Amino acid sequence: MWLPVLGLLIGVFLGLLTDIRIPDEYSNYLSIAVLAAFDTLFGGIRAHLQNTYDDKVFVTGFFSNILLAASLSFLGVHLGVDLYLAAVFAFGVRLFNNIAVIRRILLSKWSTSREK
Amino acid sequence: MRNKNIATLTIITAILGFMMAIQFQTIKEPVVRDTRDIWEIREDIEHEQQTITDLYKEIRTKEEALRKYEEAPYYSKYEGITEQLEELKKKIGLTELKGTGIILTISPSFNQSTIGQPYKTVPPDLLIRLINELYRYKASAVAIDNERIIVTSPIRDVNGKTYINNTPLGPLPIEIKVIAEDAEKLHNQMQVSQLVDEFFALENLELTSTLQQEVTLPAYDEVLRNKYMQPVEPVNTVKGNS
């Protein structure tokens, strides 16, 4: 179970070591992609706790969400509409929902284990 | 959780971490260091102090004018306003101006006669550069070929001819009259100016400067257009003006 956390740390480490910088005009896309990735990750954790986790759904969801969010904000830039904000809003709300659900599940699990 | 699931999750989190690190690095701006040494900082302070004294001076003159208005009886207020109007007109170049200054003469240089091609006109870029140079050396008023240069004076090329204030420049030689507070200094500076050496030599023109005790500059004679200025609406007070 600690392997994913280790993976996260390795990723951060690699990113900091490579010293890659995105041009300013593209940093919007990357930030929305990071948000989408977070959303999918927490969704995956929630699904795992609810025993509805599916590998394929998770992986495809991860990549398609990132691409969709980035392309949506790209479209927004070219249409002159801040669709970027729509994506931020949608992912933000979902992120909070997922975290809330995870917290409840963990709480109920903890209380049942204490009762035993 | 099965091993395969954990492996995918690890890869996904690694990708996420990588993206976050890049985003973090992109957002984080390099710290701008102040690399000025003590002399540069001192110079900057001096510059700012000069600005402060200038501003104070301006405040004082404005306060003086205000005090005059307040103290003066009603009929002489008008006088004060006309006085100030004249002052402003003089400042922007709507009046004739006399003073010590220099006369610059632009004439064709000698090597032109050997080539045999007459020089038609002085290009506007050259004139603009010359004017900038003059103002840099503290010239207070400039007139080119009897056209007074004011803030909005256009100098441009129209069909190969140079126009100043929408009037074509006359044939060479051209006289440029300049009034300066320290005319002799300006004269000396124009003698050694790089502009004379390089630019005018390149264009086959010669620039000579002569010091004059009295130079008369004509007034700007065209209508001033101000698109963006409007008179202030009088404020209605209940009991009239006090």
Q: What is the pLDDT of residues A62-75, one digit of tens each?
A: 899 889 888 888 88
pLDDT in tens, A85-102: 888 898 899 999 999 999
Please judge whether B13 and A8 are an interchain contact, meaning their C-beta atoms are less than 8 angstroms apart. Answer: yes
pLDDT in tens, B75-129: 666 777 788 888 888 888 788 888 888 888 887 776 555 555 655 678 888 888 8
Residue pair B209/B102 in contact by the 8 Å Cβ criterion? yes
Position B233 pLDDT exceeds 90: no
What is residue B108's three-state secondary structure? strand
Helix (H) or strand (E) holding B140: strand B139-144
Q: Tell which phi-psi region holds residue A15, choosing left (phi > 0), alpha (psi between -120 and 50) or beta.
A: alpha
Shortest distance, CA A11 to any CA of chain B (angstroms): 4
Position B57 pLDDT exceeds 90: yes
Residue pair B119/B172 in contact by the 8 Å Cβ criterion? yes
Distance CA B13, CA A7 (A): 6
Contacts of A41 in chain B (CB under 8 A): 12-13, 16
Would you call B25 an interface residue with chain A, using a CB distance cutoff of 8 Å? yes
- Cis, bond preceding B173 (omega within 30 deg of 0): yes
Closest-approach residue (CA) in chain B for A4: B10
Contacts of A35 in chain B (CB under 8 A): none
- Position with higher pLDDT, B119 vs B173: B173
How far is Cα of residue B5 from the mean position of the Cα atoms in its chain? 71
Q: What residues contact residue B12 under an 8 Å CB cut-off, 6+ apart? A: A4, A7, A37, A40, A41, A44, A58, A59, A62
Residue A25: DSSP 8-state? G
Residue B36: DSSP 8-state? -
Helix (H) or strand (E) holding B18: helix B3-27
Taking residues B61-82, report their average pLDDT: 78
Touching A: B residues 70-89, CB under 8 Å: none
Dihedral sign (CA B156, B157, B162, B163): negative
Q: What is the dihedral of CA A46, A50, A55, A58, to 10 degrees?
A: -30
Interface-testing mutation among A2, A8, A9, with chain B (most B C-beta atoms within 10 A): A8
